[in-house]
Chains A and B, each alone.
Chain A
Amino acid sequence: MGKLFNLVLIVLTLCIEIAPFCSCQNSSFISCIEGERQTLLTLKQSFEDPFHRLSSWKGKNCCTWKGVSCDEINGHVVKLNLRATSRFSGETVLGKFSEESSLVAREVNSCLLELRYLEHLDLSGNDFQYSAIPHFFSLMRQLRYLNISNARFNGSVPNNLGNLTGLRVLDVSHDQGPWALRVDDVQWISNLSSLRHLGMAGVYLGEAPDFSPVLNMLPSLLSLHLSLCGLNNSHLSRHPINSTFHRIRHLDLGNNHFTCPVPIMLQNMTSLRVLDLSLNLFSCSIQSSFDNLKSLVHLNLAGNDFSSIENGLISILGNMCYLKSLDLSFNQFQGEKIGKYRNLSGCAGHDLETLDLGSGRTGGQIPDWLGIGGHIPDWLGMLKNLKYLDLSGNQLNGSIPESLGQLSNLETIDLSHNSLEGAISEVHLAALSKLKVLSISSNSLTITIKSNWVPPFQLEYIEMESCKFGTEFPQWLQTQLKAITLVLSNTSISGTLPNWIMDMNLYELDLSHNQINGTLPNFPSNLKRVDLSSNWISGSLPEIIGDMLPQLRYLILSDNLMNGPIPNSLCRIKTLVVLELSKNSLSGNIPNCWRDHHVIEVLDLSSNKLSGVIPSSIGHLDSLRWLDLSNNNLNGELPLDLKSCTSLRLLDVGENALSGNVPKWIGESFRFLTILRLRGNKLKGSIPSQLCQLSADLHILDLAENNIKGRIPHCFGNFTGMVLHGEGDIIPLEPYKYLMYWEDEHLTEVMKGRFLEYTSTLSLLVYLDLSRNKLKGQIPQELTFLTGLIGLNLSHNQLSGTIPKKIGELGMLESLDLSVNELSGVIPSSMSTLTKLSHLNVSYNNFSGQIPNGNQLQTLDDPSIYAGNPLLCGPPLLKKCLDDEPHQGNNDNGRDNPAEKMWFFIVIMSGFATGFWGVVGVLIFKKSWRHAYFLLVDRSKDWVLVHVTLKIASVRNMIKGNRTDE
């Protein structure tokens, strides 16, 4: 939003600059000079003009040509305005879009030099195809206005522009591509002493020296644009000379690398009206740094790491009496931010039109965002001029105060992604006659608006996801004919869709996750995105759907009750990017009419009743990233043409009736494949070793339930996408950042013994399933390299040999199934180090010896997971292990460690042997010792007997004595 204001201000500033030249506007009565006419025609020749902007450049009087202005007296061309205007621009959820009607030329034609009286030259927005800024501009000494911004120039800004000492406006800003233009020496700028406006946004100045001495030489400067220039504090390190900086009105330093403390120079620019410091690295408190800037009208501090506002928002509003827009969005505020309203002292907030405290969807850290228990403060309703209010993503709770409904100038309100609750009724909205953007998604709000209500506004953007309507489709929306976005997903809407939806001018319609029934309605033909997934829509897809929606990009109708065929007309939508029709009852063949021009990235037809073969024309879809045809009745082989879909991230053709071998070309073709799922077909042959060439991103390989024979290739250990990097990490997610639809996708895998449908967590799953085939031979040791595996299923094959000793290295493993094979030997003790294991099955093999014990294995105490292995023993089986039973058991607690026990007994026995035979042996072999020993024993016996007898007698006497005492 702040950017918009900047734009407005730039335009305003430019208009002020232009004003002196505008006296020549009415030049139709002056006829132009023939030489200059020829020059203009040469210039026209040098341009490609796809939008016919220069169509008026014909005839004698060049002064009447569009964009040309002549001097009233002498008829010379003094002004040439060839600025490319924006033909169309807008913003939806799908992103910003704008198209400009540019003139195109390989370079600026030097014939311009012949226009010797030219004072004003504007070539902005045209396309000079990244040529250099011409040096000859420096010869046009008479220029007072030069605007070559955003005109696709490349290289260094020529120093000799410093010769144009008469310039009042110089704009070389560049927002196309990062730093295509650069300035290494800024000294020449100080020659331009008349400069009032300097625009260098997007021009790299990072290597340039301190900028402040240059600024000191520009006493007339009013407006300075240095956003995205690679600047940091060292570029504004000197103190200002007061006279200069007290004049600057507009300063844009956004998108640079400035840090706290805020440069002193900025703090003293007391004349500033507009200050943009957004997207820098400030991380201190806002308050004191900007205390002097009392004249500010627009302040943009968004996208920094500002930590606090000492006395809350209200203190800023109280200090800056003229403030119209304040953007504090996307900062890192902790604790109190807005401050309690006591009284809106003096001027506070009277002019405020824009207040942006949003954090999008990321959410603030502290629930009591506003310092008042996380509620939206009532006093916001007193900012009467507010047009734009964004409080999104701040974990706000409580209800929406009715006072917000009094903000009759409000055009945009965004309260989405909070924890607001309560009801929204007509009261909240009745006075908002200018409202255009209403975004209250992702709260716990209930909508109690009566169906027949006539709203006072015409909304353009309606986003009410997860608000509870609990009714049929709200009738009052029928009045919103200007709406281009309507998002009502997960709002408990039921019943059929009204026909009047067709009369809306929607680009985007999202009604997913409701209980809408009936057949598909007629859609408005402008639609670019339709999402009706997870409803109860029945009937078939209209045969001409492709002709009805020629601009469609997203068609998402998954999880409904639709039947009938997939119409061929879908092939005629050239703009289609996402087509999801899964989880319906669609039948017939998959259309075979795909051509090269298609841009489809996601094609999900899974879980329908489609039959026939996979059409070869799918090979034309070379931007396809996600192909899910699983759970249908498709037959035949995987078509070779699929090889051309080299961008595929997911290929899922599982649960069909496909036949033939596992194709060798799969491994060679798909360099980016993350998920390959061929489960549940009739594939035969062996696993081709070429499969190991699959991309380094492969996370899921599922070949289960086929007729695949042979061995598991040793090279499966090469799947680096399944290897953990660093301890305790999860598999890095970088590959997915670029897959924008990942979170909306789904995949079913057998984990922990049951089918689980993975959705948002799919991107984290690492899984290898070769179960229910006819695989033979050993389990390759190399599988233990795949340390990121979360599930490993090799069950129901004919695998023999032992479990790899290092199985314990698969530390992320949650589910391990080796059941029903011919595996033998002991279960390796390293198994007990699998602390994440929650599902284990080794039943029906030939394992022997003791079951290892320890941390997690002792919690898997269901004996059935070891059943069918007659030679296994130890808990949790009832069969006890004999001592000579081979065992590798291990107990972390050290309580029952058999090795330790063994040593214990050995030591005891040896001790006993030494002691016993040391005495007895000597007695046997030495007669004199024997005699002495037995003599000692006899004497001791006598001594003990005598003493005991004496003691007994004395005790008796004592007892007798006691009795006589009584």
Chain B
Amino acid sequence: MAPLSLFSLLLSFLLFLSPAISTNSEGNALHALRSRLSDPTNVLQSWDPTLVNPCTWFHVTCDSNNHVIRLDLGNSNISGILGPELGQLQHLQYLELYKNDIRGKIPKELGNLKDLVGMDLYGNKFEGEIPKSFAKLKSLRFLRLNDNKLTGSIPRELTTLLNLKVFDVSNNDLCGTIPVDGPFSMFSLLSFENNKHLNGPELKGLVPYDFGC
């Protein structure tokens, strides 16, 4: 009997341990994010890094396994930059950071968020290119990057995102041409307007897609 109970104890301990470890890393990732952000209105006040998991932090939503699935910080008056640690939120489905004052590049590590359904980074001051790694976001349905300071061309790799329903890069400083393959065949030209160097739909074989970049 004793070995059995010992075993079950060990088992329960391991079971207890495994989600704790994984979610704590998500809490650490969010805490690292917080340390990069300036938060004048204290919307991140509840982000207590000493908690076992971040599920009772405000603006964070977990699933039943205590994995972070939503980060809702739209319109929150935060500024600063993003870091690679966001890529550790392996189960994230919605990343809502729209209408803030976030600067710097969009971390390529965001491409690791394989469950991501919606990413709203619009209305910030992001610069640099749209990461090619976004092509790995196979579940992505919404990608709104409009009203930033993004440059470079629209990565052709994004045409493989077959679930993409909404794509908006208007009001940036992108260049080249607009993809026409895959989901891009459905997007309205409004999604691309106000990019000074973006030269209309791609003419395959005639003009390189990054023409004018």
What are 24 of the A-B contact pairs (CB < 8 Å)? A759-B51, A760-B48, A760-B50, A761-B51, A835-B74, A835-B76, A836-B74, A837-B72, A838-B59, A838-B72, A855-B74, A856-B74, A856-B96, A858-B142, A859-B72, A859-B118, A859-B142, A861-B117, A861-B118, A861-B142, A893-B146, A893-B168, A895-B188, A895-B190
> Are A757 and B96 in contact, with the CB atoms below 8 A?
no
Interface string of A950-962 (1 = CB under 8 A from B): 0000000000000
- In the bound complex, residues from chain B placing their C-beta under 8 Å from that of A760 are 48, 50-51
**Contact residues of B between 112 and 139, Cβ < 8 Å to A:** 117-118, 120
**Nearest chain A residue, comparing its CB with the CB of B41:** A728
- In the bound complex, residues from chain A placing their C-beta under 8 Å from that of B55 are 756
> Are A754 and B74 in contact, with the CB atoms below 8 A?
no
Q: Does A764 contact B (CB under 8 A)?
A: yes
User: What are the 9 A-B residue pairs with the smallest beta carbon separation, nearest first?
Assistant: A728-B41, A835-B75, A761-B46, A838-B72, A760-B48, A838-B61, A835-B74, A761-B56, A758-B56
Q: Does A823 contact B (CB under 8 A)?
A: no
Task: Tell me the bound Cα distance from A790 to B72 in angstroms.
Answer: 13
Count how many chain A residues have C-beta atoms less than 8 Å from C-beta atoms of the other chain. Answer: 27
**Contact residues of A between 749 and 794, Cβ < 8 Å to B:** 751-752, 754, 756-761, 764, 790
Interface string of B70-106 (1 = CB under 8 A from A): 1010111100000000000000001010110000000
Q: Does A141 contact B (CB under 8 A)?
A: no
Q: Does A809 contact B (CB under 8 A)?
A: no
Besides A761-B57, A859-B118, 10 other A-B contacts (C-beta < 8 A): A729-B41, A752-B61, A758-B56, A761-B58, A790-B58, A814-B72, A838-B70, A859-B96, A859-B142, A893-B168
The interface residues of chain A, by DSSP majority, are classed as loop
Task: Tell me the bound Cα distance from A903 to B72 in angstroms.
Answer: 35
Q: Does A839 contact B (CB under 8 A)?
A: yes
- Are A759 and B56 CB-contacts (below 8 A) given A752-B61, A856-B72? yes
Q: Does B64 contact A (CB under 8 A)?
A: yes
CB of B22, distance to nearest CB on chain A (Å) = 18
> Are A839 and B56 in contact, with the CB atoms below 8 A?
no
- Residues on A lying within 8 angstroms of B by beta carbon are 728-730, 751-752, 754, 756-761, 764, 790, 814, 835-839, 855-856, 858-859, 861, 893, 895
Task: Tell me the bound Cα distance from A839 to B50 in angstroms.
Answer: 25
- In the bound complex, residues from chain B placing their C-beta under 8 Å from that of A752 are 61
Q: Does B185 contact A (CB under 8 A)?
A: no
The interface residues of chain B, by DSSP majority, are classed as loop
Q: Does B8 contact A (CB under 8 A)?
A: no
> Are B56 and A756 in contact, with the CB atoms below 8 A?
yes
Task: Tell me the bound Cα distance from A855 to B146 in angstroms.
Answer: 13
- Are A855 and B56 CB-contacts (below 8 A) given A730-B42, A761-B48? no
**Nearest chain B residue, comparing its CB with the CB of A728:** B41
> Are B50 and A764 in contact, with the CB atoms below 8 A?
no
CB of A441, distance to nearest CB on chain B (Å) = 13
Task: Tell me the bound Cα distance from A859 to B120 in angstroms.
Answer: 9
**Nearest chain A residue, comparing its CB with the CB of B9:** A536
Task: Tell me the bound Cα distance from A554 to B135 in angstroms.
Answer: 57
Task: Tell me the bound Cα distance from A31 to B96 in angstroms.
Answer: 92
- In the bound complex, residues from chain B placing their C-beta under 8 Å from that of A730 are 42-43, 45
CB of B50, distance to nearest CB on chain A (Å) = 7
Q: Does B141 contact A (CB under 8 A)?
A: yes
- In the bound complex, residues from chain A placing their C-beta under 8 Å from that of B118 are 859, 861
Task: Tell me the bound Cα distance from A211 to B93 in angstroms.
Answer: 68
**Contact residues of B between 178 and 196, Cβ < 8 Å to A:** 188, 190
**Contact residues of B between 25 and 71, Cβ < 8 Å to A:** 41-43, 45-46, 48, 50-51, 55-59, 61, 64, 70
Partner of A855, one of B57, B75, B94: B75
CB of A718, distance to nearest CB on chain B (Å) = 25
> Are A764 and B142 in contact, with the CB atoms below 8 A?
no
Task: Tell me the bound Cα distance from A346 to B204 in angstroms.
Answer: 80
CB of B10, distance to nearest CB on chain A (Å) = 12
> Are A764 and B58 in contact, with the CB atoms below 8 A?
yes
CB of B174, distance to nearest CB on chain A (Å) = 18
Partner of B59, one of A729, A758, A836, A859: A836
- In the bound complex, residues from chain A placing their C-beta under 8 Å from that of B96 are 856, 859
> Are B56 and A859 in contact, with the CB atoms below 8 A?
no
> Are B99 and A855 in contact, with the CB atoms below 8 A?
yes
Task: Tell me the bound Cα distance from A856 to B48 in angstroms.
Answer: 25
**Nearest chain B residue, comparing its CB with the CB of A757:** B56
**Nearest chain A residue, comparing its CB with the CB of B141:** A861
CB of A432, distance to nearest CB on chain B (Å) = 30
Task: Tell me the bound Cα distance from A790 to B56 in angstroms.
Answer: 12
- In the bound complex, residues from chain B placing their C-beta under 8 Å from that of A759 are 51, 56
